[in-house]
Structure formats: structure tokens, C-alpha cells
Chains A and B, each alone.
Chain A
């Protein structure tokens, strides 16, 4: 379970790192026909208090990776934060920017999967680990 979460977090990290690179290099992300990544990435929702959301993604996924060595509910909390933030971004894409970016959708799905696994992991963790609190 931990390995699966680590794998997903690495995937999320890779997506966020790619989008961060694209953001700072000022180039257009590779985009499929149905999505309009540039429109999403150049929108006002691409940054939160001046921080590109891609950077927030990098930090978030790195934190999830690091948390795998901590208490199981820490990973769960971080994963829930990631899902909540992704949900906000997806809402912005659909209802405000009216364009979808497949990288953002991929990251949202990755965070959702991590949240599910982190929940199962926390519930199924050995007793001594859960009793730590």
C-alpha cells in the first residue's frame, strides 16, 4: 500500500514538475485536442497568491512522499488537502475558465487515488502504529 502511494505521489510529482517547468520557461504544455492547457495555464487561476499552482503541486506531492515515513494519518490529511485543492481547481477549470487541461485532470485523479489508498492504509495500519497518538 505504501509503495502504491509512493508510486502515485511520484507520478503526481512528475506532472507538477513538468507544469512548473512549462510555467517558468513560458512555453505551451503538450496538450491533447480536447483540452486547452494554455488557456488554463495562462488564466488567473494558475496562481494562488503569486505562487503557480504547479509549484504547490510539487510541494504537496513531495510532502506526501515524505509523510510516508510518519504517522499514517499525516499522509491521509495531506492527501485530503490535495483532493480538496484539486477539486477547487477542477471547479475553476470547468465553471470559470471553461477549458480543461489534461495534466490538471490527471493530477486530480492521482490525488484522489492517493486519498483512497491513504485512507485504507490508515484504517488497516497495524495497531501499534495507530496507537501512537
Chain B
């Protein structure tokens, strides 16, 4: 008698196991289609922003290993052309040389003193930081930066950035506003009045201001090396 009922249960469990596998595969394929499978995100630019940061830990405003001995803090405005120049000319080199290797952690604090477009960009970037995708968002924002205060950062423009940065929503709510205010407070306490401005120091602080002579890797590397030597 036992074997009569044992077989159906055995078979049923097998069917359930198969169903479970099929269900999870289906969910993952359907849900992950937009973000998990890399290439499907469309357009070369987002993929570029994604691949440059691939495998580097990101948490809130910071990029790089939390155990990195040195932290460099950048104050920037997403509308500022010199900030875009830094991001284009210096950031990739620092990323490969120091961040990927776990020596330096970067922290980005976004200000919004140039105009209303800066404000919106900074708040959505802060919302992206809450989801640990701020650096993707910022990279794309610089790549597509328009003329300062030309009103280029429309809702459509920002939503496009956010979508390409892998963000599902662009809810720049009260938490995002608090983050930007905290950044502004940090800028005030450090006496920052222009962007891009940089602080450097051991991770955890204290940080000191450093003013590169130009926006080229050569102006940053000696300062970072000095800090790494302690």
C-alpha cells in the first residue's frame, strides 16, 4: 500500500522541482532582460559607462573598495564644463590605476550653484546614489552635457540618463534633497567655492584640500602617490 502512494508523491515532487526551475528561469529572463544581460540595454554609450565601472564596488557617493587606504573627494556640478573635462581626461586613468586596484576610493559630492539644471541633476544623482548607481549616472551626464544653463536638462533628458544608468525610477525625493544639502554643507566646511575642487587624505579622514595645476592625470598622480606613501 505504501508503495502505491509513494510513487505519485515522488513523481509529484519531481514535477514541482521542474516547475520551480522553470518559474525561476522565466522570472529571471523576463525581469532581468532590461538590466542583467548587458548588451540588451541598447546604445553604445550606456554600455561604455557600465563597462568602465564593471566590478568596482560602489556605495552611495563612493566608488572603490571601502578598504582603500586613500580617499579623494571631488566637489562638482554636473553642468560645469571643467568637471566634465576632469571626468573625461583624468577620471579614467585614476580609475584604472588606483581605484580598480583598491588603492584609492573616490567620493563625489554634487553641488548645484550654477543654475536650476544643476539642482535637478544633483538631486536625481543623489537618488541614484541611494541605489548605488550614481557613478553610472554621472558618467552619462558628463558625456551628454549641454551648454551651461541652456535648459538642456529637461525631465526627458534626465529620465533618459537615469534609464541608461540602469535606474528604474527617478524619484528625487526628500532623501535626495537631504543628501545634496549634506554635500553643500561639506563644501562650506571645506571652504569650497568652485568646481571641480578636490580633497585628499587617508580613508576616514582627515582630508586636506589640494589644487591640481591642470586637469590632466599628471597633475593628480604625484599627489595621490604622496598620500599613498602616507
**Which residues of B lie under 8 Å from residue A133 when comparing CB positions?**
12
- Decide: B57 and A39 in contact? CB cutoff 8 A: yes
- Decide: B59 and A26 in contact? CB cutoff 8 A: yes
A44 and B12 contact, Cβ closer than 8 Å, known pairs A26-B130, A39-B55, A80-B21:
no
- Decide: A45 and B36 in contact? CB cutoff 8 A: yes
**When chains A and B are docked, how far (Å) is the Cα of A71 from the Cα of B169?**
40
A122 and B59 contact, Cβ closer than 8 Å, known pairs A44-B35, A81-B24, A127-B5:
no
**When chains A and B are docked, how far (Å) is the Cα of A98 from the Cα of B32?**
18
**Option from A45, A88, A130 in Cβ contact (under 8 Å) with B24:** A88
A26 and B60 contact, Cβ closer than 8 Å, known pairs A76-B13, A77-B19, A123-B6:
yes
**When chains A and B are docked, how far (Å) is the Cα of A76 from the Cα of B12?**
10
**Which residues of A lie under 8 Å from residue B35 when comparing CB positions?**
44
- Decide: B5 and A130 in contact? CB cutoff 8 A: yes
- Decide: A88 and B9 in contact? CB cutoff 8 A: no
A80 and B32 contact, Cβ closer than 8 Å, known pairs A28-B66, A50-B168, A131-B5:
no
**Which residues of B lie under 8 Å from residue A45 when comparing CB positions?**
36
A73 and B12 contact, Cβ closer than 8 Å, known pairs A42-B57, A42-B132, A84-B23:
yes
Contact indicator per residue, chain B 20-45, by CB within 8 Å of chain A (1) or not (0): 11011101100110011000000000
- Decide: B24 and A38 in contact? CB cutoff 8 A: no
- Decide: B16 and A80 in contact? CB cutoff 8 A: yes
**Option from B1, B20, B32, B132 in Cβ contact (under 8 Å) with A84:** B20
- Decide: A88 and B28 in contact? CB cutoff 8 A: yes
**When chains A and B are docked, how far (Å) is the Cα of A39 from the Cα of B102?**
12
Chain A at the B interface: mostly helix, strand, loop or mixed? helix
**When chains A and B are docked, how far (Å) is the Cα of A85 from the Cα of B31?**
13
User: Interface range on chain B: under 10, 10 to 19, 20 to 34, or 35 or more?
Assistant: 20 to 34
- Decide: B21 and A84 in contact? CB cutoff 8 A: yes
For residues 59 through 111 of chain B, which have their beta carbon under 8 Å from a beta carbon of chain A? 59-60, 66
Smallest Cβ-Cβ distance to A28: which chain B residue = B66
**Which residues of A lie under 8 Å from residue B21 when comparing CB positions?**
80, 84
Interface assignment of A20: CB less than 8 Å from any CB of chain B: no
Report B19 CB to chain A, min CB distance, Å.
Answer: 7
**Which residues of A lie under 8 Å from residue B28 when comparing CB positions?**
48, 88
**When chains A and B are docked, how far (Å) is the Cα of A133 from the Cα of B59?**
50
For residues 69 through 124 of chain A, which have their beta carbon under 8 Å from a beta carbon of chain B? 73, 76-77, 80-81, 83-85, 87-88, 92, 96-99, 119, 122-123
**Which residues of A lie under 8 Å from residue B32 when comparing CB positions?**
48
**When chains A and B are docked, how far (Å) is the Cα of A97 from the Cα of B56?**
10
**When chains A and B are docked, how far (Å) is the Cα of A61 from the Cα of B13?**
19
Binding site for B on A (CB under 8 A): 26, 28, 36, 38-39, 42, 44-45, 48-50, 73, 76-77, 80-81, 83-85, 87-88, 92, 96-99, 119, 122-123, 125, 127, 130-131, 133
| 10 closest Cβ pairs, A-B complex | A80-B20, A84-B24, A42-B132, A49-B31, A39-B57, A77-B16, A81-B20, A80-B17, A50-B168, A84-B21
Binding site for A on B (CB under 8 A): 1-2, 5-6, 9-10, 12-13, 16-17, 19-21, 23-25, 27-28, 31-32, 35-36, 55, 57-60, 66, 130, 132, 166, 168-169
